[in-house]
Amino acid sequence: MHGGLAGWDQGPINTRVLQRVVTHPKDRQLALLTPQLPAGSPSAAAPRRLSVSMGVLPMLQFATAFTYYIQGDLSRSIGARPYSLHAIYLHGKDALRKKMALRDAHAWHDPPDYYADPTRRYLTYAPSSAGVVGSTSRHASRVGSSGGFEMLREQLAEFELALWFAQISNRTIILPRLACADKAMAYPCYAWYHRATTHTGFRDAKIPMPDACPTYYWLNANLLERLGVPYRESAFLTNPRTPRWLSAALSTQQLDVRLLGNGRLSGHVPTVRQAVQAFRSHRSDARVLRLVGIGSLPHDAHDAAWRARGAIGGPASAAPAAHARPLGGGLGGVSAISSGFWCTACVITRRGGIIQDNNASTVRELEEFCKAEARGALGLPGEWETCCDVAGKVGGYAQGCPRCARGARKPRDARSLPWSVRRFLPVWANLSSKPRAAASGVSGPSQRSRCLHPLCTGTDPIRYP
């Protein structure tokens, strides 16, 4: 701080501007760049100059990518409509990353043929996986009620499958809006400010995950461009620069992939392999083809070997090998299209919990740990928090972190939580959990499933410092 002026994160503004000026006599939040000179000084008798002041614009209206996308819910809650968008705080400085952030906000002007190419056909799809608004399947409801990284994994796998359909039909894929929110209990590892826990408990400074992740949070656009995969941003069809003859509903044909092949006649949903093979012979002249049910296609025993041979991918015509199968299956394939790695929000170690470094059962164990801790932090009946002094306890806690001593952590009143904590802690506390097994030496209402992984016990400070 300099007087009443807030310091900036950019050093030159602090050292060359704020520290060399005085605050305005009528508003201490303004910097007076042309201060009045003392009476009697040689320059005081000179002709009066125009007084110039400088202040800080409201960040929610003159937004960076962080305040526009990550704190967009806060802007909308107080009616602060953004006036401008500065493509910074993107966890990257490359031109394509900035361009993608601006495109999602309708703030980037591409050449006219980007929006109105008469030779181009497009593919979009209705998200049917967990966490997406409008999901109705039983599986989606179950995953949505229990939360966790599976919500994100299924959406990313669904997108990977949509990429194959787009390449087979030689269409440009329109990217989805990835449903995130804190219910997913995960975040891109470089976005460390979303991490919720340390060995001292929950962080009040945690920034809530946005309901819909910005594209730069999950898509490696540079990889797709290197592979020659054509795509458009998720906001493409709503962009006012996209002509009406393309964005209108009449230009879109809907196809239920669950009816491909023998699905329509037999009443059985085809497997992924069967649907993709049947889709190769499907012909549509619609400018926009919208797929429905893509997340409901089951896998069969032959899918893994079939994928390994590269049978999925590539348009009907010949294509370069690198373009034919850009992505694999499972978490490895998901990480190929993700920008870096995803981390679970539920660790007590200094090192983050990289999801791709752990198996699914470990990730679920950490998530169950977070749900139980959240219920304990809010003082729900029969619940309690654990306390892990990983600095003072050499070797960690092999049997899981012990219950906090009486008075070590007082239950928190949900009504008085800081805004950021109020966004995630009650959500985690209300997520459904698997049946709790009796913890060793614990009985009664406080039974809980204990987390025994080093990320939540501190038992391996070499691998997990």
Residue 166: phi, psi to the nearest 5? -65, -40
Look at residue 397 in the predicted model and tell me its pLDDT.
79
Token output for 35: 């201060």
Look at residue 13 in the predicted model and tell me its pLDDT.
66
Look at residue 331 in the predicted model and tell me its pLDDT.
47
Domain ranges of the chain: 120-343, 359-456
Helices 272-279 and 150-168 pack at an angle, to 10 degrees, of: 30
Cα of 446 vs its chain's centroid, Å: 33
Q: Which residues of the chain have pLDDT under 70?
A: 1-22, 24, 28-29, 31-55, 129-144, 262-267, 299-335, 339, 390-394, 434-449
Give dist(CA 226, CA 232) in Å, integer.
15
Look at residue 29 in the predicted model and tell me its pLDDT.
66
Look at residue 437 in the predicted model and tell me its pLDDT.
47
Residues 6+ apart with CB under 8 A from 46: none
> Is pTM beyond 0.85 here?
no
Give dist(CA 26, CA 351) in Å, integer.
48
Give dist(CA 55, CA 8) in Å, integer.
11
Give dist(CA 149, CA 138) in Å, integer.
18
Site of tokens 């044909």: 253
Helices 360-377 and 419-429 pack at an angle, to 10 degrees, of: 110
Q: Strands 178-179 and 231-232, how do they pair?
A: unpaired
3-38 b/e (C-beta count within 10 Å ≥ 16 → b): eebeeeeeeeeeeebbeebebbeeeeebbbeeeeee
Look at residue 328 in the predicted model and tell me its pLDDT.
38
Look at residue 445 in the predicted model and tell me its pLDDT.
38
Give dist(CA 240, CA 339) in Å, integer.
29
Half-sphere exposure of 72 (CA within 13 A, CB side): 13
Look at residue 309 in the predicted model and tell me its pLDDT.
46
